[in-house]
Structure 1
């Protein structure tokens, strides 16, 4: 805590003198009533959203400070980002049972969904394909279960990424950036405009990111590396074509295509524990993640009161992993080919009514996987998964100040997975065959105290499917059950001081049943009951015409209430990756209308790395500070920044020495780095 308080004092002192002499209107806050979120499948202002959600806007993303999605959200309250992993939210592991080898053996889903332009992103073993943030409108981070809206893999929350759409005004931009320490060069472009005025418009954007990570690589005696050990390259290309046959937005169709390719040193990065400042890699891997996503969107609004929306999307996903070992025979070559089909049809009603409105939708999802591994581990398999769902919600205004929303999701899931592995001198062949139907209700009560302040009470259920994998200790294939959560929240949304203060707060309680936990042998077993509760508060305020403050606080308590004896004595323990405190504080000061300086700090409290709450696996308890100088004039924007300003060496993973790793291993936050980003708009 001392570190965070010290930074707070520095921040306040730095800007207090300047704030006292502010004269002109330079800064302007975006009202909580104007910020729109889409992650619940119905556009709402942030003020009318009861779910706990944080929004990262394009203004911040275009500064170049953040290189990846995880980097853009790592200061959000009650969010912890680990290397090569989907973010952990409110103490719930984002990867869940889908981590590493388990992802192949059982085809498990993550607990936190990543959804880009309405399409769920595939996930295999490690988080890859996460870099490159060009031409993104905003990132919405939902904390708590989003299963009623998004179904699969969102029991812990969801990351909703909306990229920029075509415009009927000619616009373009070019960007170039450079970052030290890992020597990254970032270039990008975007172009949009009309092909036929008010009828046909396009948008085309691309990004190329290339550099070297701070991983030092491994030297294997008598062997040349199979690949560049610390190179990382990302290529993104996105195209959109918008057609409005009648010349207005009541009838429109849009074709979207995106190509993404990230290759090199991504995924999990662990370093030898004896001197983690040396960044000596624990293992060397080359990850190659390619995806091509094609989608079609249709919107028809025949009247002011109702509308039809349809989405069809196809994802072609190709994931590869190579390793570099001391023994060439142990070099791993792993591939995963995945094809996803998404169909979603929605009918919205009462769009012009403040009394009764809502939507009902039908959804279909299909996933086919084909995977293969040779080298140190030999296995292969195929997977066919399908889900059918109907979901929706209705809102009724009981009075002019009280609204009741009822909704839910009914979903049928089917999965057949064949897995074959050379194991213990023989071939192990197993089939996982799951067929489940679940109902997930949602209930929300809102009370508009004033025109600027809304209170909310909500209850909803979340779900994540069961699966199967191999126990290397027991030398057998086993299965585990689905996990569920009952989630309850109280929310406050307020826009005060004539729009100069935005306040968002959520008090939550989550009751988990059959939580999928991993024990000391990395066997996944259902924990009968676990609970989490806490608070998230975010404040955005104009303290003067020249000075803006952004602050966030996350409080979290987690406890395992009932568990199988196979886990040992863990009842009363905390969940892993569940710090009691996360917090952030930042200031932005307008020196002139064009020139701003920003400084920020975020703190992640100490947490356990396992559910056994081993002291030797404690991580966290670090503070990271950043500084930004931003100049915007006419068509130009120049940003200069420093990340991890005081070169903090915070640990996110801390594995003690053991039989497999003599010195143990750690994961470390990115070291101090500096950069500059230039954007020209035309």
Structure 2
């Protein structure tokens, strides 16, 4: 049992405060959330309209700052892990929505299938491994399940995650948090303060947090920690509401964030115990993400029913890693990765509300520049290069082919340098309208035109890093002709992989419509039916073994969704549900051109899939002191057609399930909050078993697991004290695994039981 002792001080909006309590203490939600929260409950912003959760047909799960504090959530992955029909991978580098991995289902494609936005700025793929996703001073997290392509645009075929931090207010507020752990040496300290600079005209908010932890993994080779973690976050916001222009609201946000962590994977096979969380690398793995994000929004209220808004953002996010390429104690293998993404976004939109229509019209521009480089000293498996298969095809017996490969140690040591700069420009115009058809019915129409241009090049330099066997000095001279031929083949293979591809330009465009109909069955019950199109742009790929570039086309989806929104007993109980079906075509599929050769691949548009499922969520204020939540997700995601490279020839994955797609996800929580300050929270989440890959689906190789967490304590006016328990029953199950080049299994287990003590206060 791992015992964590935590000491923290948390400011004005403590664990017991909800949205209304925050207003009383002066903490301010983002304006688009705050505007109607007093009248309509939770307000969601992901569709870029001020719309209550109960008036939103799309499937969206909302986690407020109150829930974040009650349940002791630290990272956005904690929220994702407790959301129905969402699953997080074992090392917390990606997630799936409705069975669709955020980045890759069929092995191919460049753009994301789901995106995370922090204060309006997108977080690049590699940055999700260790990026600016901590929840300190966050106002609200919205998880939108299903295609958001019409309004959000690119990289939202599966959904999106919207993270809004706390805005400045005109009352002085502050919070501080100090968190200590005894076993892994974690230290987490945060402070946030805000208030007026000029009364009712200019306000600011500053938030900072730093953390350090030794992690749960031990490196038996170096004798140190395998996954040390560090982070530093600094965010500043400035709000201007000039008296001379009372209809104008200006908000600027600057964020600097640096996160670092170590290795993801531990040894699973004997002599190591998987629960010991051991690694054997001869160097310390390091993965560092440095983020600088600036956002500036202008909002002008033309009249009480018309608002113009402009949002400008620029981000510079850099991922760098240093890793042991073979993950063993054998020295000499090293890989470095450097991925710098610079993104500029500009969006303007006009929101309006009339008696006959309610909606928005907008335009969007994105310019993204990505500089990716990779260098390594590594040993490639000759089997994975397809050499063994080629030897047998030339007439050698399996035993003879194995004997030849053993002369090379079964590997080809190489030095590899790859540079792959990419540029993306995206232009879009969009409209989202709601028309009343009488007193009870509403027609929803949306349309987006999305045009994208991509430019990229690739330069690869590969060299063999040791002498090949000399055919003239073999112990078995009869093998000399085979070795001579194989040497020539390997030299030619390496030479052919060297290239300097010129700039390639590809263009894509798409019309993305949405059509919906809502009917108010009663004042507290609404039914909706929506059909909409999802989209992921095409792109260019690079075959490392052949040193060839190629293009692939976009992929599209059509989703039909039925929704129920209901509230009962004076809005003390809500029951919401979404039932969906998605048809996905032209999927970007990664296939092997040479059977058995893992590096001889190409992306083609050949996949078709069908998904269906449902989400049900319910909130209940049972009494003034007891609140309950329950959520259920069911999903089936299978390929209708999908060519993939098997052991001997192209096969079909028809009927096979998506990886990282559990059929069932459940979550629930119970919170007791007494007027005297006592608070208790118990929450649980369950994920059924799922397949890890498309290739092998004999069994669901990632087992089901249920995690229970708890928090118990007392919150006074200024100070609170709590006991916390994460993973109460110490469930430790396999989350992810793979077979390394030398045949051993590596992977991850979910964290063990964590007990803690926390002190929380407000100034």
After TM superposition, the structure 1 = structure 2 runs for residues 534-573 of structure 1, keeping only pairs within 5 Å, are 534-564=613-643, 566=645, 568-573=651-656
- Corresponding position of 2:316: 316
Matches of 2:605 and 2:266, distance apart in 1? 28
1:390-423 Cα deviation digits (max 9, x unpaired): 0121111011111111012101101111111124
Superposed displacement of residue 145, structure 1: 0.9
The answer as to whether partners of 1:229 and 1:265 remain within 8 angstroms in 2 is yes
| 1:451 counterpart = 2:526 | no
Look up the match of 2:397.
none
Q: Supply the distance in 1 between the matched residues of 2:723 and 2:617 (Cα, whole angstroms).
A: 26
Please say if residues 106 and 589 of structure 2, whose CA atoms lie closer than 8 Å, have aligned partners that are also in contact. no
Residue 280 (str. 1) matches residue 278 (str. 2): yes
Give, in angstroms, the shift of residue 318 of structure 1: 1.8
SS in 1 for 2:54: helix
2:387 aligned with 1:348, yes or no? no
2:556 equivalent among 481, 484, 489: 484
Q: Does 1:334 align with 2:337?
A: yes
Q: How many residues align?
A: 641
1:542-584 per-residue CA deviation (whole Å, 9 max, x = no partner) reads: 2334332211111111221122364523111111111111112
Residue segments in structure 1 that go unaligned for 5+ positions in a row: 1-25
C-alpha distance in 2 between matches for 1:72 and 1:180: 25
Q: Quick one: distance in 1 between partners of 2:307 and 2:509? A: 29
Residue 613 of structure 1: how far off its partner (Å): 4.4
Distance in 1 (alpha carbons) for counterparts of 2:332 and 2:119: 42
Shift of 1:450: 2.0
Give the conservation status (yes or no) of the 8 Å contact 1:395–1:404. yes
TM-score, with length taken from structure 2: 0.79
The answer on 1:607 being equivalent to 2:690 is yes
Query: Deviation at 1:263?
Result: 1.4
Q: Which residue of 2 aligns with 1:666?
A: 747
Instruction: Give the Cα–Cα distance (whole angstroms) in 1 for the partners of residues 568 and 244 of structure 2.
Output: 39
Contact 2:85 2:633 survives alignment (8 Å): yes
How far off its partner does 1:97 sit? 7.2
SS at match of 1:301: strand
**1:474: Cα distance to partner?**
6.4
* C-alpha distance in structure 2 between counterparts of 1:190 and 1:534, whole Å: 41
**2:165 corresponds to:** 163
Structure 1 or 2, whichever has the larger Rg, is: 2
Separation in 2, partners of 1:249, 1:92: 45
SS state at 1:60 partner: helix
Q: TM-score, normalised by structure 1?
A: 0.88
TM-superposition CA deviations, 1:56-89 (whole Å, max 9, x none):
1101223572232112220211111012422111
Tell me which residue corresponds to 1:292.
292
Pair 479,329 (structure 1): closer, same or farther in 2 beyond 3 Å: farther
In structure 2, which of residues 495, 500, 508 is the aligned counterpart of residue 429 of structure 1?
Answer: 500
**Residues 120-139 of structure 1: per-residue CA shift (max 9 Å, x gap):** 12223862215521110011
The worse-fitting range, judged by mean Cα deviation, of 155-164 and 448-457 is 448-457
**Could you tell me how far apart the structure 2 residues matched to 1:300 and 1:77 are?**
37
Q: Does 1:643 align with 2:726?
A: yes
User: CA offset at residue 119 of structure 1?
Assistant: 1.6
- Aligned partner of residue 378 in structure 1, secondary structure: strand
Partner Cα distance (1:27, 1:501) in 2: 19
Secondary structure of the 2:652 match is coil
Cα distance, 1:116 vs structure 2? 1.2
Shift of 1:247: 6.6
Aligned to 2:278, the other structure's residue is in SS state coil
1:412 aligns to what?
Answer: 451
Work out whether residues 18 and 66 of structure 2, in 8 Å CA contact, stay in contact via their aligned partners in 1. Answer: no
Tell me the SS of whatever aligns to 1:150.
coil
**Secondary structure in 1 matching 2:139:** strand
**Alpha-carbon distance in 2 for matches of 1:53, 1:270:** 35
Q: Give the 3 Å change call, closer, same or farther, for CA 181–582 of structure 1 in structure 2.
A: farther
Note closer, same or farther for the CA distance 1:434–1:677 as it changes in structure 2 (3 Å cut). Answer: farther
- Deviation string 1:119-172 (CA, Å, 9 cap, x unpaired) is 212223862215521110011001111111111111111010000000001111
Q: Secondary structure at the match of 2:151?
A: helix
TM superposition shift of 1:355: 3.2
Which deviates the most, 305-314 or 632-641? 632-641
Q: Distance in 2 between matches of 1:134 and 1:592?
A: 25
2:317, 2:342 within 8 Å by CA — same for their partners in 1? yes
Unaligned ranges ≥5, structure 2: 1-15, 21-36, 378-415, 463-492, 593-597
Partner Cα separation in structure 2 for residue 651 and residue 372 of structure 1: 32
**Equivalent position of 2:611 in the other structure:** 532
How far apart, in 2, do the equivalents of 1:125 and 1:591 lie? 41
Listed as ranges, the matches of 1:575-586 within 5 Å are 575-586=658-669
TM-aligned CA deviation for residue 677 of structure 1? 3.4
Q: Decide which of 94, 112, 116 is 1:86's aligned counterpart.
A: 94
1:255 aligns with 2:326: no
Structure 1 distance, partners of 2:622, 2:190, is 35
Partner Cα separation in structure 1 for residue 567 and residue 735 of structure 2: 35
